[in-house]
Structure 1
Amino acid sequence: MKIISIINQKGGVGKTTTVINLAAGLSQLNKKILVIDLDPQGNATTGLGLSNTDDSETTIYGVLNGSKKISETIKKTNFENLDLISSNVDLSGLEVETAGDEKRAFILKDKLLKYIDENSTKYDYVLIDCPPSLSLLTVMALVSSQSLLVPLQTEFFALEGLTQLMKTIERVRVNLNTKLNIQGILLTMYDKRNKLSSEVEKEAREFFKEKVYKTVIPRNVRLSEAPSHGVPVLVYDKNCPGSKSYFSFTDEFINQEFNMESVA
């Protein structure tokens, strides 16, 4: 079971869209997926057709405050091979509530390890949707993960924000999780009519080399519409440019995993 956080401290970069559609793409390839919605806004929850107003004890908040086990909060979605631990706004209070706990950065990791110990490996991938901030919740995700996937919008200031994120990742790697690595950077919201998009792509590929996925996610109205219907765009309109890009990205992701396993 591989735990991957999808992270960018900036909002509106296609982070949750990437979580939902990578999860859907992998599940359609018969991979068993658990999505953990670690964002108090609960967008991954509603984007997969569940409610973000459920009783807090049955969400990731119930896990992190110690009242529930992970196994007690996993919910089925309408999609085969794809389960979810939902979120709601109460999660935003966790940082204050755990202020006196010196080990609070490890709460999620400890819960996940306990779940793995008590259950046969049920999932191929756990995908964590991080909040759009470098907060305690994000640090919890970084500590728990083996690798990170960073959606990067091809817009002005995108690379500046990434520099701050890289510093945080490095601090966590040195002090809290030496196994953490960046699996890849996914360029999102690409507009081929806009010269800036191609300039950001060029800079990203020059700086991060092979870490940047070949697949680029375009700006696409269907990508924006799908979450309001509670389905991934791969289900909402599988023939639109956004869907085709996420299908391509899923294939690239799987091939990357296969190559990593071959090297190991």
Structure 2
Amino acid sequence: MARRTGPARICVTNAKGGTGKTTVAINVAGALSERGRDVLFVDLDPQGNATEGLGLLEEYDAAPPTLFDVLTDGDQRDRMADLVIEHPEMDVVPSNIDMLQAERELTIADLVARATEGEVDVDPAALSALAVNVAPDTVAGGHALDTLDDALGAVEDDYDYVVVDSPPFYGKLTDTGIYATRNILVPALTEATSERAIELLIDQMSALEAQTGITVETLGVVANRVETTGEDETMLEWFEAVFADDPVWEVRKRVALQRAFSAGQSIFAYDPSVDMADVFLSIAADLDRQFDYAEVPA
């Protein structure tokens, strides 16, 4: 069972592009909401796909402070509540065009942390001069991956779940999302190229655990856009073998999921009669079980 001392945190992640990661994240969050859970959705992807898929595209061009500032400026770490936008299904912390600079900024912050600890022979002040917001006095410890973790502390008590949609690449920004949640839900396509992507994901989790001393739990795999081919069947068997201790859910390819995305909604607000809605409800029910949410609110 996933450990929970407060609201449950989940990072939906897979660095392989085209897996439907954001669609899975939105519909899992929508299913949790459908079960009566209060959900905060955080779009950590600089491309802002989830922000668009929740109908909040204007927020992507909003003026500062933005999620970029909260993640990279220690003096604004407590302003997460100012970024929360109400959506009919869930609250949302949108991405922003400024997030395109976040990977570079967090990389510098991590180097500043290591320099401050004496791990690298570089003047931390010289490194911070290359950054927009990072300063040596705002970075503590041997890494700088705790910024989202700290920022969520100011808002998460209002929620049962925090669902983070990670970028579709490995780097400091993705590591920041996983560090904050300690729990991952993995969307994957039922095609042979997913094998390498899953192997890289496992390696990345091991490296992050070794660097930071945390433990990352896998909550399950969402086999996405499944069709009735031999390759799909073979990959489903492979997922079941590799993730023998974790649930594997099958989401069939449905055009309604893309239409819901275009409408700025989960499938539950768009058309709950679509058969895949039941699969996402099953995912939500299993997450409730894993996080020891025993009762569904009335």
Scaled by the length of structure 2, what TM-score is found? 0.79
Aligned position for 1:171: 207
- The superposition leaves residues 234-254 of structure 1 with CA deviations (integer Å, 9 ceiling, x where unpaired) of 221211233232223222332
Distance 1:205 1:152 in 2: 12
Do the aligned residues in 2 keep the contact of 1:57 with 1:63 (CA within 8 Å)? no
Distance 1:211-1:259 versus aligned 2 partners, 3 A rule? farther
Q: Which runs of 5+ in 1 are unaligned?
A: none
Runs of 4 or more, structure 1, over 4 Å off, are none
Q: CA deviation at 1:96?
A: 2.2
In structure 2, the CA distance between the partners of 1:210 and 1:94, relative to structure 1 (3 Å rule), is same
Per-residue CA deviations over 1:96-149 (Å, capped at 9, x if unaligned) read: 234153243222222223x16xx7x21111110000000211010111112111
Contact 1:56-1:90 within 8 A present in 2 as well: no
Aligned alpha-carbon RMSD (Å): 2.0
Mapping 1:214-229, distance limit 5 Å: 215-229=249-263
In the superposition, the TM-score normalised over structure 1's length comes to 0.88
1:23 aligns with 2:58: no
Judge conservation of contact 1:2–1:146 (CA < 8 Å) in 2: no
Indicate which of 214, 218, 242 corresponds to 1:207: 242
Shift of 1:56: 4.5
- 1:9 counterpart residue number: 15
Count of aligned residue pairs for this structure pair? 252
Q: Distance in 2 between matches of 1:191 and 1:253?
A: 25
Higher relative contact order by CA 8 Å / sep ≥ 6: 1 or 2? 2
Q: Which residue identity is paired with 1:127?
A: V
Structure 1 stretch 241-250 or stretch 83-92: which is displaced more? 241-250
Inter-CA distance 45–159: structure 2 relative to 1 (3 Å threshold): same
For the Cα contact (< 8 Å) 1:222–1:242, is it kept in 2?
A: no
5+ long unaligned stretches in structure 2: 1-6, 114-142
Alignment of 1:92-131 (within 5 A): 92-98=100-106, 99-100=108-109, 101-102=112-113, 103-113=143-153, 115=154, 121-131=157-167
User: Contact 2:21/2:187 (CA < 8 Å) preserved in 1?
Assistant: yes
Structure 1 pair 76–259 and aligned structure 2 pair: CA distance change class (3 A):
closer
Contact kept in structure 1, 2:60 and 2:94, CA below 8 Å: no
Q: Is the 8 A contact 1:204 1:212 kept in 2?
A: no
